[in-house]
Amino acid sequence: MAPIICIETDNPFPVIRTMEEHSARLLAMTCGEGPDITFRMFYFLEDQ
């Protein structure tokens, strides 16, 4: 069974590029409100 991971960051674009290079699939993405916006990205890691 392949794992699902959650990554929290204030800048999602480097994370998205890196995860695409590693064959991870973005399942969902959320973001908070306010001055300190945090993005949460949930990834499915494909079996190699």
pLDDT in tens, the chain (48 residues): 779 999 999 999 999 999 989 889 999 999 988 888 899 999 998 765
Report pLDDT for 48. 58
Q: Please choose, from the candidates 35, 43, 37, 29, the residue with its C-alpha nearest in 3D space to the C-alpha of residue 10.
A: 37
pLDDT at 15: 95
Using CA atoms, how far residue 11 sits from 4, 35, 40, in Å, is 20, 13, 10
pLDDT at 33: 85
Question: What single DSSP character describes residue 23?
Answer: T
> What is residue 22's predicted lDDT score, i.e. its pLDDT?
86
- 31 forms beta bridges with 39
CA 31 to chain centre: 11
User: Under 8 Å CB-to-CB from 25, ≥6 apart: which residues?
Assistant: 43, 44, 46
